[in-house]
Amino acid sequence: MKRKQAALLSAALLGALPFAALGQQAVLQPAAAPQAATTATTAAAPPAQSPSRNAAPNAANPAAAKQAEFERNLRAQVLLDRAHFSPGEIDGAYGSNMRNALSSFQAARQLPVTGKLDEATWNALNADNTPTLLTYTLVEADVAGPFRPVPEDMMAKASLPALGYASAAEGLGEKFHASPALIERLNPGKSLSRVGEQIVVPNVVGKNPLPKAARVVVRDEAKILQLYDAEGRLLAQYPASTGSEHDPLPIGTWKIEGVHPNPTYHYNPKLFWDAEPGDKKAKIAPGPNNPVGVAWIDLSKPHYGIHGTPVPGHVGKTESHGCIRLTNWSAAEVANLVGAGTEVVLQN
């Protein structure tokens, strides 16, 4: 019975993202090499060279240097994701989420912890020689929609029959852990609304599976959520938004009460200090743009949980209302690796 429930949860979460097509109709293959040095976007893996080797040729060509940095960051983000040290939304830019992922990857590999993409870290990441990008063929589920703008107002959200994606690029971004802007940058001139169109995407599929987690640790200052096994080994790390001055993270040890895929969101304005005047209790339909995304992991602390978000680019960089907010793909993965009774430690 537990195995059947896990399979149903996985199917529901993956269907919401929507990953189901990857195993059936979709065509995935390593992307072709770029046709020109200025085309970032169809490259497979950039060569594993040190910064010093790249610096001299690019110094006289700022555009080439910027392009090389983008490709290097893009590859590092893909490899971090594949190693289960999530940089959050893959965008080819170095930021706080990538720095935190690099720091923990370095600590796990017993490298100097700098949070930077230094030569030793670059070489360690490239022990995985998987191509950076894949060619993906769009299927009906990617383009069918319906796509509609998602209103900010909670009462307006409550009037919608579903909280789906605003665009095909947004859905593809979540499927491949990337910003919609990156998907579009990687595919100039391509139509993201045509079945059969071949595009290139970050190669985040086919990762090594993780075992069930015995403990979840959320670190408020670092803005990360970590999963550990029963022996205390770190399994995975994800960026997280972890509270605010008005709604601080409830420090302490709690338990997971249950895991709920594709939840209906029950909005109660009395629980929010910043609720709009006139807001009333409301039910908001399921979907990836639901306020808690594709999964709600209920904690023993009333009204608190671990959940997804409709704005993955904000995770780890903006405040929350006290809950632990992950990207939708991270929330889906965590939901499959925990269960009722799993310990959750919330730390400063």
Residue range 305-318, pLDDT digits in tens = 999 999 999 998 77
**pLDDT bracket for residue 321 (50, 70, 90):** low
Beta strands in 122-248, from DSSP E residues, in sequence order:
133-137, 198-202, 215-219, 224-228, 234-239
Question: What is the reported pTM?
Answer: 0.85
CA atoms within 13 A on the CB side of 163: 29
**pLDDT bracket for residue 78 (50, 70, 90):** very high
**pLDDT bracket for residue 60 (50, 70, 90):** confident
Percent of the chain, pLDDT > 70? Answer: 80
Q: Residues near 222 by Cβ (< 8 Å), separated by ≥ 6?
A: 100
Determine the 3-state secondary structure of 226 from DSSP: strand
Beta strands in 81-148, from DSSP E residues, in sequence order:
133-137
Q: What is the mean pLDDT of residues 159-163?
A: 94
Tell me: pLDDT of 247 over 90.
no
Q: What is the mean pLDDT of residues 212-236?
A: 97
The larger pLDDT score, comparing residue 302 to residue 243, is at 302
In this structure, how many other beta carbons lie within 10 angstroms of the beta carbon of residue 79? 24
**pLDDT bracket for residue 19 (50, 70, 90):** very low
pLDDT digits (tens, 9 = 90+) for 35-51: 322 233 333 444 333 34
Tell me: pLDDT of 90 over 90.
yes
Task: State the chain's mean pLDDT as an integer.
Answer: 85
Q: What is the mean pLDDT of residues 198-206?
A: 97
Q: What is the mean pLDDT of residues 228-241?
A: 97
Please report the pLDDT score of residue 271 as a whole number: 75
**pLDDT bracket for residue 13 (50, 70, 90):** very low
Q: What is the mean pLDDT of residues 56-82?
A: 90
Residue written as token pair 């992991």: 297
- The CA–CA distances, whole Å, from 248 to 193, 255, 267, 319 equal 42, 18, 19, 9
Q: What are phi and psi of 27, to 5 degrees?
A: -110, 120
**pLDDT bracket for residue 166 (50, 70, 90):** very high
Determine the 3-state secondary structure of 208 from DSSP: coil
Tell me: pLDDT of 201 over 80.
yes
Q: Using DSSP bridges, classify how beta strands 198-202 and 324-325 pair: parallel, antiparallel or unpaired.
A: unpaired
**pLDDT bracket for residue 276 (50, 70, 90):** confident
Tell me: pLDDT of 319 over 90.
no
Tell me: pLDDT of 340 over 80.
yes
